[in-house]
Structure 1
């Protein structure tokens, strides 16, 4: 396996084909990580300086070298997938964004052009969704994008081409769970011998199905998902959301977006933790890929869940490769944009 090294300007710099180990960790809604170990020769050190881009012909994502470390005869190279460029950008001043979650991610990318050279936003085949409105004031662009992507189950990536183009894409993985019939089903379970050390948990202590939000002028809106059952209510302080420059409909829509995010942050959490390993019965990048929904489970407790593959770690060493998919729900750690 070869790594092609390019300058940000598109100039080809060289090839890395000899290394002791490579960890290529892809992530669905934030930049993945790369760690490369090889001999600390003069040529390798000169080639792998921070700012160069590592490409693979067998993966869509590329990575930007962020730093190097030399210890004895070993050179360790640390890199991040190219969406890390958005971590170098900032939403300047108070701005509102309206559209589907995928459209808002595209809008945020476009606002980061100063930090992303030659940006092209690919709007073909954008995932669909209901319109939302968010308001940001001097927030880190990448943190805002990750919050939106996690809340709505979307992935995003920044692709590199030697024509000096950085192409931004929003995507949604395919559904390979047992709950659907359109695609082949993929199982990560003990019965298929590709899911071990399983641990199941179910927690509804923080669950809410009704949310109220109050804007800066005292306007109150709510979302009720109790479906006529027992209500579990939460409140959102949306005093930072103002009606300035908005129609009444736009203002209420933005407040309802705050309610929706509050409910995303107060869901029932049901998860399996464990180690899913790629084996021959479901081949990585052919039967399943990053962002896809799969069925996970453990026959000993009689539980199965539909989970999304949120990370894939590829480890290349000693002449072999091991693939570890990580699955999890789409609940964000926080959906409070004030904390970004």
Structure 2
């Protein structure tokens, strides 16, 4: 992969500079949540003075590969060389700046795309909680793409939760991705969903994509199959106290295979909603199967043409007895003297930080 150029703009879409002589660049794209980027460049090179907080960068003139600078660091090595390090999330990281403000629980039922865009519009666009007395919450250059009603139908509710976490949970539950990209013509940051394609060997509509040692297109592989946090039967607790509290059982596994957990769903208004909330909460404690590897540029499958983020592909390692048909949930583009492409298929392995954020959110919802 050739190292891409990096363009710098402000929120008014004014071009402030272009850089292609950086020391290194890593750009990570994710399907269910925002990605991030990190650039290292020697201080004093042309346009490094434009790499300031809240400036937007995008690479290779691709509108969907864009991010906002949120971190700057200058380091000097033992030879006196000063290097500027910048980091930040992809544009979807702007959802981290809002919580789902609501007088009562904001409830909606519909296709996943409709539900996700409802919350994004309500808190960043021109929806109920971004206009009128909430007008200061609106970001004027934030827009919502036309709703194509993609994804499975789901009920959802939220109140004073991190907006980015709400959208991520909907995306994971409904298995649909999302992003915020640049619209230069209208000078907007546009929220939209990603559906992905089925490129596995289980279908015959599109040419299948297979990552395997036999094809010499993948190496440095890793595989995780974990049931440490897995639960498959939940007791969803609704409204009421003590013996009067409504309890709904979710799941029917039995014997040694049965793994139980209590699910606090006290915001549910009736038995149907309690069941829906219970199913969503139980799904968060799923079995984790993930695979990652370094993609080799052998020409068999071309990135962003034959396969891309969100596509479901086949991964095989006959030595490990492994065949997975999984979605590509993360792609890391690494541009250094030796450029690399790393992918992750299947489930993300939760980090300690993500676990703590989730725990705090659960405590807030139970208050």
TM bucket, shorter chain: 0.7 to 0.9
How do residues 135-284 of structure 1 correspond to structure 2 at under 5 angstroms?
136-162=158-184, 163-204=186-227, 207-217=230-240, 218-224=245-251, 232=258, 234-243=260-269, 251-284=270-303
Alignment partner of 2:64 out of 60, 81, 84: 60
Partner residue in 2 for 1:110: 121
**Greater per-residue helix proportion:** 2
Backbone CA RMSD of aligned residues: 2.8
327-336 vs 299-308, which moves further: 327-336
Secondary structure in 1 matching 2:260: strand
Deviation for aligned residue 1:238: 3.2
CA 1:230–1:156: 2 relative to 1, 3 Å: same
Measure the CA separation in 2 of the matches of 1:38 and 1:273.
Answer: 28
109-118 vs 287-296, which moves further: 109-118
CA 1:305–1:108: 2 relative to 1, 3 Å: same
Q: Which runs of 5+ in 1 are unaligned?
A: 244-250
8 Å contact kept, 1:176–1:184: yes
Secondary structure in 2 matching 1:191: helix
TM norm structure 2: 0.79
Which one has more relative contact order, counting CA pairs under 8 Å at least 6 apart? 1
Q: Which runs of 5+ in 2 are unaligned?
A: 77-81, 125-136
Deviation for aligned residue 1:171: 1.5
Deviation for aligned residue 1:202: 4.1
CA 1:229–1:185: 2 relative to 1, 3 Å: farther
Measure the CA separation in 1 of the matches of 2:88 and 2:222.
Answer: 32
TM norm structure 1: 0.85
CA 1:123–1:252: 2 relative to 1, 3 Å: farther
Secondary structure in 2 matching 1:111: helix
